């Protein structure tokens, strides 16, 4: 599941830096941003999203090195590692209790200007009246690209058929990054569907160790699929999954909210997840995550994770 989490995050970074329409071509020269993305995932402890960093951060989630990670645990690990990644500057939101809170996401994604603390909680509420500043590339300044992960339990021992249509609808959304999941003892990265079959990539392939060259490039052939993706019956899916979405700009997130309301929530008697405007009053106050005050960066091995973050509660089975 760690590799699957890397695959979903890598796709988000591709969308962020190279665009969703970018495609890899063998032996074609790639831009520097592409090689920089690859270097984030090299199997070295000084790479910010390496298998070493993810396994070590999992200790803070109550997972020993080598222990099985579920989709929710991987999502929590990515959220915490992203705080040390200043180059990509992602806002990673992991939903809680099957609920996505629009207010919390916008509070997290609209970063205040440096040196301004009072603007943090209110600036995003008034920007429509004040107007939006744009940089030379034409993107709104202040909005941090959003990686939205929604851990779900779609049944007890097997997926509940009532969720299948809504689950498939998520793959159709332009913001979709697919889903993390699998079946017993196998973790897969799901990227689409065909009829009643899910299309997935399987990370369980032994590869030769790859390191960066002296000029900073990476031999990237093993990072890409060399054969057709696999397929499996959707009813064979383990009910524990995590949906992923990427919203580069606020308009992408607003469009995602509209699609969810139209295609998923209004047509389902038993909803796969909830989308609410305001922070639930019975929840603890939402505080956007920030980088812990430690002398480390995303390019160093993070030690003693139990001191950096409070232990997240285990994912609980919900009534269906």
Instruction: Indicate whether this model's pTM tops 0.75.
Output: yes
Q: To which residue do tokens 């939101």 refer? A: 93
- The pLDDT value recorded for residue 130 is 38
- The pLDDT value recorded for residue 180 is 97
- The pLDDT value recorded for residue 215 is 66
DSSP 8-class letter at 228: P
- The pLDDT value recorded for residue 141 is 55
On whether the CB atoms of residues 275 and 23 are closer than 8 A, the answer is no
Q: Percent helix, strand and coil across the chain, each rounded to 5?
A: 30, 20, 50
- The pLDDT value recorded for residue 116 is 43
- The pLDDT value recorded for residue 267 is 65
- The pLDDT value recorded for residue 225 is 80
pLDDT in tens, 221-256: 778 887 889 999 999 999 999 999 999 999 999 999
Q: What whole-number distance in Å separates Cα of residue 66 and Cα of residue 44?
A: 16
- The pLDDT value recorded for residue 204 is 80
For residue 34, give the H/E element and its range. Answer: helix 32-40
* Ranges under pLDDT 50 in the chain: 113-140, 295-302, 304-320
Cβ atoms within 10 Å of 252's Cβ, excluding its own? 18
- The pLDDT value recorded for residue 120 is 42
Helices (H) and strands (E) in the chain, counts: 9, 9
E strand spans, 84-227: 91-94, 99-101, 146-153, 176-183, 186-194, 197-201
pLDDT in tens, 10-43: 999 999 999 999 988 887 888 899 999 999 998 8
- The pLDDT value recorded for residue 216 is 65
């Amino acid at each position: 599941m760690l590799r699957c989490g890397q695959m979903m995050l890598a796709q988000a970074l591709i969308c962020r830096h190279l665009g969703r329409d970018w495609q890899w071509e063998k032996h074609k020269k790639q831009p520097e941003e592409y090689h920089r993305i690859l270097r984030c995932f090299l199997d070295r402890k000084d790479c910010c999203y390496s298998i070493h960093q993810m396994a070590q951060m999992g200790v803070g989630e109550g997972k020993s090195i080598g222990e099985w990670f579920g989709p929710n645990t991987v999502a929590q690990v990515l959220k915490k590692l992203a705080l040390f990644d200043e180059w990509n500057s992602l806002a990673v939101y992991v939903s809680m209790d099957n609920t996505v809170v629009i207010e919390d996401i916008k509070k997290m994604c609209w970063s205040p200007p440096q040196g301004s603390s009072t603007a943090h909680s209110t600036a995003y509420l008034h920007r429509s009246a004040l107007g939006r500043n744009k940089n030379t590339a034409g993107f709104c300044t202040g909005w941090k690209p959003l990686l939205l992960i929604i851990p779900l339990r779609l049944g007890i021992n097997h997926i509940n058929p009532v969720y299948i249509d809504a689950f498939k609808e998520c793959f159709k959304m332009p913001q979709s990054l697919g889903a993390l999941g699998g079946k017993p003892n196998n973790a897969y990265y799901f990227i689409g569907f065909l009829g009643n079959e899910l299309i997935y990539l399987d990370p369980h392939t032994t590869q030769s160790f790859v390191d960066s060259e002296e000029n900073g490039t990476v031999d990237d052939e093993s990072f890409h699929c060399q054969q057709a993706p696999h397929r499996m019956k959707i009813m064979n899916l383990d009910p524990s999954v995590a949906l992923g979405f990427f919203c580069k700009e606020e308009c992408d997130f607003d469009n995602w909210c509209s699609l969810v309301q139209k295609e998923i929530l209004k047509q389902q008697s038993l909803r796969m997840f909830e989308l609410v405007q305001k922070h639930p009053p019975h929840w603890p106050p939402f505080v956007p995550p920030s980088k812990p005050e430690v002398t480390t960066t995303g390019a160093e091995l993070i030690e003693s994770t139990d001191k950096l973050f409070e232990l997240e509660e285990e994912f609980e089975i919900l009534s269906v």
